[in-house]
């Protein structure tokens, strides 16, 4: 949820067109990777 | 998409540039959003509340330190968190205003200042404005008039540093000096300053500094701060002395005007989580004014448009008169006055009252430079598309 919050703030800072500069894209990429990793952990711990 | 039941997801600030004059300074920081998720339950800050059982004494989370930091941030001696600036007004009025007492406000005072005085039976007298500015000369004249009328000076004076109608700066320091010559305590209303620009209550000479968490301190509503001097703290933050008649109960160190504890959960934790960023951001006020002026100049370039607020601007909240520009378009447009808010909405800009084309307010606080440029360009484009002269 905290990672989604970081994405939410990014959306706010770039509203309304949400065009990310290279640094923004890099940050977004890192956050999304972390979310994917956290989802994998949750999937493993909750569903197995 | 719904949050729950009939409640829509709110995405105003994610999908649009929000220029609502009262919302922009209260938008949460990322830190506050995260803290709010963790502390959403009712009395969430009370997990480790120990004797003497009072909010400002809680050590975990560090609520006690936050109170000290708030006082120091405002250059005052003692601070308490309150459920909105209005509750700060109410606490001060409750302490100093008795039935029939004269109290001075200004021609641009917020209605909650009026209600706080009315609630205690006080009688209001206004300092008139001159071109929407409250001057020390006008304050001195009003205090003299009130003293003659009531046979004694006012018991309290409320003063907004920047008012909510125009975002104009008033002669705060000079007015406080005048009031103190009559021994009148002064409440500095910093709803539009505390948390967005530096405020030094001691340098201004204020007896009370009130700020709004949800208006200018990136905190959830209702939240705010009431800070005061060592001298006044024992009065406004007096503790209960009641002993009940049948059960002989007493209530420790609970503060009467605070009604005991004030913000016990998500409001306080949001304020606390945002505070480090708020403390930093006040030093970037100059940059906020640069962004604001960029938009003001774009509006001024549209023929017939007038800035009703003082100019050049000293605040990001601005009142603009488009009676001779966008309102002229509205008279013949098929959407009437709604064309303007609709055109802004189409460009991803929200926060202006739908249908408003005559005199309206907006606030650029918290925008990035790119967003300010986008907003300025959008106003000009809408004008050009509807045949208004620009230049």
Whether B326 maps to a domain, the answer reads yes
Q: Which residues pair with B224 in a beta bridge?
A: B82, B212
B163 and B269 in a single domain? The answer is yes
Q: For the domain that residue B246 is a member of, what is the CATH number?
A: 3.40.640.10
CB-based burial label for B294 (10 Å; 0-12, 13-18, 19+): middle
What stretch of H or E contains B118?
Answer: helix B111-118
CA proximity to B304, closest of B374, B365, B379:
B379
For residue B17, which residues of chain A lie inside 8 Å, CB to CB? 15-16
B178 and B311 in a single domain? The answer is no
Q: Give one DSSP letter per residue of A1-48, joined into a string.
A: -HHHHHHHHHHHHHTTT-PPPHHHHHHHHHHHHHHHHHHHHHHHHHH-
The verdict on a CB contact (< 8 Å) between B14 and A1 is: no
The verdict on a CB contact (< 8 Å) between A15 and B347 is: no
Total number of domains constituting chain A: 1
B74 and B115 in a single domain? The answer is yes
Which pLDDT score is estimated for B236?
98
Per the structure, the complete domain to which residue B320 belongs is given by 2-24+282-385
CB-based burial label for B314 (10 Å; 0-12, 13-18, 19+): middle
Tell me the average pLDDT of chain B: 98
Query: How far from chain centre, in Å, is Cα B260?
Result: 24
CA pair distance B372, B234, nearest whole angstrom: 46
B218 and B302 in a single domain? The answer is no
CA pair distance B298, B390, nearest whole angstrom: 9
- Ranges of residues in chain B with a pLDDT under 50 are none
The partner residue sitting opposite A12, judged by closest CB among B13, B37, B374, is B13
CA pair distance B161, B167, nearest whole angstrom: 9
CA pair distance B110, B102, nearest whole angstrom: 18
Interfacial B residues in 9-48 facing A (CB < 8 Å): 13-17, 27, 29-30, 33-34, 37
Per DSSP, which regions of chain B are E strands? 2-4, 7-8, 17-18, 78-82, 102-106, 123-127, 156-160, 186-189, 208-212, 224-228, 306-307, 317-321, 349-350, 359-363
Whether B390 maps to a domain, the answer reads no
Q: What is the pairing mode between strands B186-189 and B156-160?
A: parallel
Which pLDDT score is estimated for B370?
97
CA distances from B176 to B123, B162, B164 (A): 20, 15, 20
pLDDT (tens digit, 9 = 90+) per residue, A7-34? 999 999 999 999 999 999 999 999 999 9
Per the structure, the complete domain to which residue A28 belongs is given by 2-47
Q: For the domain that residue B16 is a member of, what is the CATH number?
A: 3.90.1150.10
Whether B391 maps to a domain, the answer reads no
Q: How far is B73 from chain A (nearest CA, A)?
A: 26
Q: Please, which pLDDT band fits residue A48 given cuts at 50, 70 and 90?
A: confident
Which tokens belong to B160? 């907004």
The verdict on a CB contact (< 8 Å) between B348 and A8 is: no
Contact B136, B177 (CB under 8 A): yes
For residue A10, which residues of chain B lie inside 8 Å, CB to CB? none
B136 and B215 in a single domain? The answer is yes
Total number of domains constituting chain B: 2
The partner residue sitting opposite B15, judged by closest CB among A6, A13, A15, is A15
pTM, full prediction: 0.96
Whether B309 maps to a domain, the answer reads yes
Who's near B246: CB < 8 A, 6+ residues apart? none
pLDDT (tens digit, 9 = 90+) per residue, B317-350? 999 999 999 999 999 999 999 999 999 999 999 9
The verdict on a CB contact (< 8 Å) between B30 and A5 is: yes
The verdict on a CB contact (< 8 Å) between A9 and B348 is: no
pLDDT (tens digit, 9 = 90+) per residue, B217-270? 999 999 999 999 999 999 999 999 999 999 999 999 999 999 999 999 999 999
Whether B339 maps to a domain, the answer reads yes
Three-class DSSP labels, B62-78:
CHHHHHHHHHHHCCCCE
Whether B119 maps to a domain, the answer reads yes
Residue B312, preceding peptide bond in cis (omega within 30° of 0)? yes
Last residue of a domain, one of B281, B297, B320: B281
B217 and B257 in a single domain? The answer is yes
């Amino acid at each position: 949820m905290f990672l989604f919050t970081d994405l939410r703030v990014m959306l706010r800072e770039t509203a309304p067109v949400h065009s990310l500069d290279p640094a923004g894209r890099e940050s977004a990429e890192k956050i999304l990777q972390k979310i994917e990793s956290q989802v994998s952990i949750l999937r493993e711990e909750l569903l197995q | 998409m719904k949050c729950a039941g009939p409640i829509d997801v709110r995405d105003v600030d994610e999908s649009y540039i929000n220029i609502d004059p009262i919302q922009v300074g209260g938008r949460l920081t990322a830190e506050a959003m995260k803290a709010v998720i963790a502390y959403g339950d009712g009395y969430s800050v009370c997990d480790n509340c120990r004797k003497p059982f009072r909010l400002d004494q809680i050590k975990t989370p560090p609520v006690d330190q936050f109170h000290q930091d708030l006082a120091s941030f405002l250059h005052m001696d003692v601070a308490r968190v309150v459920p909105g600036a209005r509750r700060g007004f109410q606490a001060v009025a409750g302490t100093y205003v008795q039935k029939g007492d004269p109290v001075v406000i200004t021609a641009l005072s917020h209605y909650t200042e009026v209600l706080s005085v009315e609630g205690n039976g006080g009688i209001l007298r206004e300092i008139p404005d001159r071109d929407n500015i409250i001057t020390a000369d006008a304050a001195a004249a009003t205090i003299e008039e009130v003293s003659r009328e009531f046979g004694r000076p006012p018991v309290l004076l409320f003063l907004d540093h920047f008012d909510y109608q125009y975002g104009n700066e008033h002669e705060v320091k000079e007015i406080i000096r005048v009031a103190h010559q009559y021994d009148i305590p002064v409440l500095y209303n910093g709803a539009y300053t505390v948390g967005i620009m530096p405020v030094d209550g001691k340098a201004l000479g204020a007896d009370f500094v009130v700020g709004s968490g949800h208006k200018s301190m990136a905190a959830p509503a209702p939240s705010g701060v009431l800070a005061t001097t060592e001298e006044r703290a024992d009065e406004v933050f007096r503790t209960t002395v009641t002993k009940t008649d049948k059960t002989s109960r007493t209530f420790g160190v609970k503060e009467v005007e605070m009604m005991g504890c004030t913000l016990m959960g998500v409001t306080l934790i949001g304020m606390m989580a945002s505070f480090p960023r708020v403390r930093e951001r006040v030093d970037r006020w100059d940059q906020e004014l640069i962004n604001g002026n960029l938009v003001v100049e774009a509006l001024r370039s549209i023929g017939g448009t007038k800035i009703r607020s003082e100019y050049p601007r000293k605040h990001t909240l601005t009142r603009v008169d488009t009676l001779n520009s966008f309102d002229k378009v509205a008279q013949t447009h098929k959407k009437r006055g709604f064309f303007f808010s609709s055109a802004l909405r189409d460009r991803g800009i929200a926060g202006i009252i739908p249908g408003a084309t005559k005199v309206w307010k907006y606030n650029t606080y918290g925008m990035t430079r790119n967003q300010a440029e986008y907003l300025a360009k959008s106003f000009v484009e809408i004008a050009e598309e509807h045949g208004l002269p620009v230049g």
